[in-house]
Chains A and B, each alone.
Chain A
Amino acid sequence: DGGITQSPKYLFRKEGQNVTLSCEQNLNHDAMYWYRQDPGQGLRLIYYSQIVNDFQKGDIAEGYSVSREKKESFPLTVTSAQKNPTAFYLCASSISWMNTEAFFGQGTRLTVV
């Protein structure tokens, strides 16, 4: 079955460490997205990628980095520069950047202690 997979579901890291969240899809989708959710708030866009080897900053990109070396994969690195990294992170993909009929991952809850 085609789908989008985020791993792990829960992640714990010490303050000051970089951490990479995985997002993989086997849907042959060109576009992929990363969102962040804080308690009581809607999801906000961190980065998006329209096509392989290309990505753009979203609304809250500071302290994050991404890569898109393969169509299937769009990993998100939360760097030590991110002031408040503890949050829920959601990955999504769509057929193309113009077609936002999307699939969503189950999310990763990151806790930095």
Chain B
Amino acid sequence: KNEVEQSPQNLTAQEGEFITINCSYSVGISALHWLQQHPGGGIVSLFMLSSGKKKHGRLIATINIQEKHSSLHITASHPRDSAVYICAVGANTGNQFYFGTGTSLTVIP
């Protein structure tokens, strides 16, 4: 049983396209995180959110606590956005994060 499910697993887009990655979770959370992992493995934290919506540049993250769902949007996608995007939730019981298996995004010039 996976506490965090991401979709799609793989995504290929043309440069400039609007991209959406979805995350559904089954546990009570105190926060949800979106992480970016580039080839070579380094992790970058993109967003931490517990309600509503956050925006940073071309990236937008939303969360619906009632529906236990979050989305990561990338506007005007660029080849440098190619990476694996990981959704992680921090359980509100403490001591634990649950991670999705990631969405591999490839943006073609």
- A: residues with CB less than 8 A from B are 9, 31, 33, 35, 40-43, 45, 48, 50, 56, 88, 90, 92, 94, 96-107, 109
Instruction: With A9-B42, A102-B33, A104-B43 as known contacts, state yes or no: A97 contacts B94, CB within 8 Å.
Output: yes
Q: Shortest CB–CB separation between residue A76 and chain B, in angstroms?
A: 15
Q: Does B57 contact A (CB under 8 A)?
A: no
Indicate if the CB atoms of A94 and B90 lie closer than 8 Å: yes
Segment with Cβ contacts to A, from B15-23, B59-67, B72-80, B99-107:
B99-107
| Tally of chain B residues near chain A (CB < 8 A) | 31
Residues on B with C-beta less than 8 A from A104 are 33, 35, 43, 45
A-B CB contacts (within 8 Å), total count: 75
Residues on A with C-beta less than 8 A from B42 are 9, 106-107
Indicate if the CB atoms of B94 and A107 lie closer than 8 Å: no
A45–B94 Cα distance when bound, in Å, is 13
Q: Which residue of A lies closest to B98 (CB)?
A: A42
A100–B101 Cα distance when bound, in Å, is 19
A92–B50 Cα distance when bound, in Å, is 18
Instruction: With A45-B96, A48-B95, A92-B97 as known contacts, state yes or no: A100 contacts B44, CB within 8 Å.
Output: no
